[in-house]
Structure 1
């Protein structure tokens, strides 16, 4: 117990869901009904009316167990602690009162580190005091604490599991941002290199046009070379020591390669309509990456898929991508390790000011749809 408290003492408070939901109200209704039924079925229970009233009266505290875990925990323990004092130590607890363990779980699941420590101290102090006063048999103190610790350990385990999942999602978003940054660098570096080449060509003919032209071309070449060096330095930081990929970034013109050579597996049909020549290079790369990920997911996870259609439509304002397969629209085949492809796709589209969604079609198959602005600039 000491190690558990030390581990969560300084843990930041995790995000809490809304205080009350439909299922929370249903749980309270069920527990109140169970307490009343237990009171009817156990006429020999000491202080039956008091016990049922306390059990039913404390049940609504569960509605706030996520938003105020320590408050409801202390309130429930305070009320339940006053009952033995009122009855002279005679036990009045119902079986239904076992839902108090949900408050312990909630404290460890959604409480801050200090709240957990405070609640644990109160629980241990109450158990020890009740044992000294004789309200609880000495042989029942340790088993009772063990049950409380089990509820707290379950809450802690799920707390760290949720935190680990959030960190993995953030890592996926970070990796996608780095990928987008590399793609943007490659496209920008291409144009900056063209500027440097043009500046060098200007210098070559500067003898026939002396004066300001020479000075201007010198500045252009210097600034272009400096910008290129800074961009390369930035990407070296983003790649964290990984070797640079010297191949040019793919674009819409490379979508035909997704079909791959003939052989087993679904057929991939690619069609591009509209004017795609003037697209921003970053948008072209994003369209290719989104289509590539969607095709890969369909080949890997779709059931009984025979065909994958990739459609790109460009107009004056935006580019629309649609990737649809004819596989079973039910749940996809489970992977050994859950991936973050769809999360990365949505992140890539959002960084360029667009959207990307994936969902099963009403009749059969899955569809991935993305809409990106032509210039790749968020409005």
Structure 2
């Protein structure tokens, strides 16, 4: 078991999306160099002052590469710390060489498990433990202080690992939300296609019965089959995920759409006054777009009920234009905290993207929370928006 866990850790890749440098890195470097200058100028009894200053500047430069080269920065920093500790010990210095601002190495200890791969974490962790053990071994402080110092050195690494685990868990949950949204969209498309195919079969059977007695009725039946087949092909082109296995005897029912919004907005009751405005031709929307409009409004209304503090009004507007459908949901409440997107909004954004549209959610200019979505009425096989069939 332990061997398997170690092998799994060794093959763990780096977390994606690590930025090379951001603005706060340069601010941190400027503050660190200013601290080195102040300590070197104001502090008395600095052992090997020129060496200590150069060494501190070197340590403050290394964090610039802590995300892209975590193992290299830890190795260089702690390797130089170990060499300087051995040199001072051989020279018989009673006090450690270096400035207090050299504590910036703790940032590198944090960055190693936060941004490194499993191989880098294990190798870099070995370097940190080895150098830390060496330093406390040649130091003349009591044993308790040595243990406390070693624990203090490793604590940022534990914090970095915890942050990485938390972010990885959130990314995994977000991916599950996206996957469920793709699956739900695929099921809705599957149900729609099944309805079309069932209609084609019935029309074809009727045409075969009437072919001998009424040829014109057979021709009309063939035209109906052609129309249903064209609609089916349009929906099949929108398939974006693998269909989930359905149970035997599962009912094929069309998903809720724009026609169900009136019933949906009556659900909040007396707490929120919901103003629903439907504009344009919304009766001939493709089923996938129709269901997406309903899901966007449903999730937005639910979020307003759960998170909008002191909200009294909710404005829902769905407008159908020539090639697009625009959905807008706005409340007049306030959102405590940072207002980060939840998993529901993540799923809606994924659905809008799959359909070739966009969705934006965030605080309004004055107050409240706004959800704005733009969906194409239809799209062709290569993704170019087209006008739907009439």
| TM-score for both structures, normalised by structure 1 | 0.84
Q: Distance in 1 between matches of 2:78 and 2:268?
A: 70
Q: Distance in 2 between matches of 1:239 and 1:299?
A: 34
Match of 1:371 in 2: 374
Unaligned 5+ runs, structure 1: none
Match of 2:356 in 1: 353
Q: 93, 98, 106: which is aligned to 2:98?
A: 93
Q: Is the 8 A contact 2:82 2:135 kept in 1?
A: no
Match of 1:311 in 2: 317
Q: Is the 8 A contact 1:309 1:324 kept in 2?
A: yes
Q: Is the 8 A contact 1:45 1:92 kept in 2?
A: yes
Q: Distance in 2 between matches of 1:159 and 1:116?
A: 12
Q: Distance in 2 between matches of 1:363 and 1:235?
A: 39
Q: How is 1:74-89 mapped onto 2 (pairs within 5 angstroms)?
A: 74-87=75-88, 88=91
Deviation, 1:52, is: 2.1
Cα gap change, 1:37 to 1:242, in 2 (>3 Å): farther
Q: Distance in 1 between matches of 2:246 and 2:101?
A: 56
Match of 2:30 in 1: 29
Q: Distance in 1 between matches of 2:314 and 2:116?
A: 48
Unaligned 5+ runs, structure 2: 385-390
Deviation, 1:295, is: 1.3
Aligned length: 361
Cα gap change, 1:239 to 1:191, in 2 (>3 Å): same
Q: Distance in 1 between matches of 2:17 and 2:367?
A: 37
Match of 2:387 in 1: none
Match of 2:345 in 1: 342
Match of 2:168 in 1: 163
Q: How is 1:134-149 mapped onto 2 (pairs within 5 angstroms)?
A: 134=138, 139=143, 142-149=147-154
Q: Distance in 2 between matches of 1:60 and 1:116?
A: 21
CA RMSD of aligned residues (A): 3.4
- Cα deviation, 1:80-104, whole Å, max 9, x if unaligned, reads 2332344425321222111111111
Deviation, 1:241, is: 5.9
Q: Distance in 1 between matches of 2:205 and 2:193?
A: 19
Deviation, 1:49, is: 2.4
Match of 2:186 in 1: 181
| TM-score for both structures, normalised by structure 2 | 0.82
Q: 126, 129, 132: which is aligned to 2:131?
A: 126
Q: How is 1:205-224 mapped onto 2 (pairs within 5 angstroms)?
A: 205-208=210-213
Q: Distance in 2 between matches of 1:16 and 1:123?
A: 25
Q: How is 1:271-310 mapped onto 2 (pairs within 5 angstroms)?
A: 271-310=277-316
- Cα deviation, 1:16-74, whole Å, max 9, x if unaligned, reads 42221111111111112212222223211221221122112220111110111011111
Q: Distance in 1 between matches of 2:156 and 2:100?
A: 17
Q: Distance in 2 between matches of 1:100 and 1:251?
A: 57
